[in-house]
Amino acid sequence: METLIQLVVTGVMVGSIYALVALGWTIIYKCSGVLNLAMGELTLIGAYVCLQLYLWGVPFPLAVAGTLVVGFVLGLVVERLALRPMIGQPILSIIMITVGLAFLFRALVGFIWGTDTRVFEPRVFPMDPIRLGPIVVGQVFLWSFAAALVLLVAFVAFFQYSRWGLMMQATADDEMAALSVGISARRVYALAWALAFMAAGVGGTLLGNINGLNVSVGFLGILVLPAVVLGGLNSIPGAIIGGIIIGVLQNLSGGYLDRLVPGGVKDIAPFVFMVVILMFRPYGLWGWEKIERV
């Protein structure tokens, strides 16, 4: 029983980071309809920028702020150069341009920072774990959880209450109507990419603090896909809950199934789970169901 609680708690905490990145993915999809396979590479770039700033001696909170700024600018640039010319192209082309971006970004990160695992040195968060009753949680997890929660709340508040957030929601809902009341769809697309870059960068930084940072952190971008599929592609609460569920599921399958079926169950469990979900609920939990009639 204690193992179960332990696994669930850690799962929720890691899952909150997934939720953050999944949120970024959903923002892009909701606003501009782009299925982004480069999400993992966005997390890589953010994480390495933060690491580099931190190693140069910038205090951690400032480094994170710097990451946010760099992410924002990069998001605007990438959207303008690669994605805007692709508006109206078939789905395969749009997916493949994000694949091209993914290859390019990963190669750039690998080329600049190498393949060795890097750590935030000196450690940002204290190493000794905290006891909450029967369960033990590393401080890194706790702080990451807190940071992810703060950012999630900030993003959701941005969508619900700010003028720009409402513009983005309007565009996602009905682009034509949004255009006709004077919302600039172009700016909304650009902002969506900038926000996604920011969310991914912070997600990557937090994950890099937990496990150390190397190119394989980019796998996070693939792992986020089961989360958004589970929640439904265009649902922001769905992405958050999906991310947390995937985190918990991953931990549980690592803790329990690994003994029965040895090998990397932890890494593929989300995908198996996703295929099963798709068989029964092809639009995820809260996705918009597309009804086709002749």
Partner 1 sequence: MRLLPSGTFHESYRSDHALWQWRTGFTRVALAAAAVALVGLLPSYSSGYVLGVANVLGYTILSALGVQLLIGYCGQVTLGHAAFIAVGAYGTGIGILQYGLPYPVALAVGALLAGGWSVLFGLPSARTKGFYLIMTTMAAQFVTVDFVIAQYVSQIGGRGVAFSLPPGTIRMGTLVVDTERETYYLMLILVALCTAGVINLFRTRIGRAWIAIRDNDVAAEALGVNIFRYKLLAFFVAGVLGGIAGGFWVSANYGLTPEDYTLAWSLWLVGVILIGGVGSVHGVFFGAAFLTVILEVLKALVFTLADAYPMLNDRFLFVKEMAFGVAIIGFLLYQPRGLAYRWQQIKTYFKLWPFGY
Contact positions toward partner 1, by CB under 8 A?
35, 82, 85-86, 89, 91-93, 95-97, 99-108, 110-111, 114, 222, 225-226, 229, 233, 262-265, 267-268, 271-272, 274-275, 278-279, 282, 292, 294
- For partner 1, the closer of residues 3 and 89 by Cβ is 89
Q: How far is CA 243 from the centre of its chain?
A: 8
Residues 6+ apart with CB under 8 A from 291: none
Least CB distance to partner 1 at residue 193 (A) = 15
- For partner 1, the closer of residues 12 and 83 by Cβ is 83
Least CB distance to partner 1 at residue 106 (A) = 6
Rounded Cα gap, residues 183 and 172, in angstroms: 12
- For partner 1, the closer of residues 96 and 149 by Cβ is 96
Degrees (nearest 5) of the Cα angle 195, 200, 137? 130
- For partner 1, the closer of residues 107 and 130 by Cβ is 107
Q: What share of the chain is helix, strand, coil (3-state, %, to 5)?
A: 75, 5, 20
- For partner 1, the closer of residues 62 and 107 by Cβ is 107
Least CB distance to partner 1 at residue 279 (A) = 6
Contact 228, 238 (CB under 8 A): yes
Residue 209: Cβ-neighbour burial (10 angstroms; 0-12, 13-18, 19+): buried
Rounded Cα gap, residues 129 and 132, in angstroms: 10
CA neighbor of 281 nearest in space, from 220, 250, 235, 247: 235
Q: What is the DSSP letter of 125?
A: S
- For partner 1, the closer of residues 16 and 36 by Cβ is 36
What tokens does 230 get?
A: 């589970």
- For partner 1, the closer of residues 104 and 210 by Cβ is 104
Least CB distance to partner 1 at residue 10 (A) = 22
Residue 118: Cβ-neighbour burial (10 angstroms; 0-12, 13-18, 19+): middle
Least CB distance to partner 1 at residue 223 (A) = 10
Least CB distance to partner 1 at residue 54 (A) = 23
Least CB distance to partner 1 at residue 139 (A) = 32
Degrees (nearest 5) of the Cα angle 46, 49, 54? 125
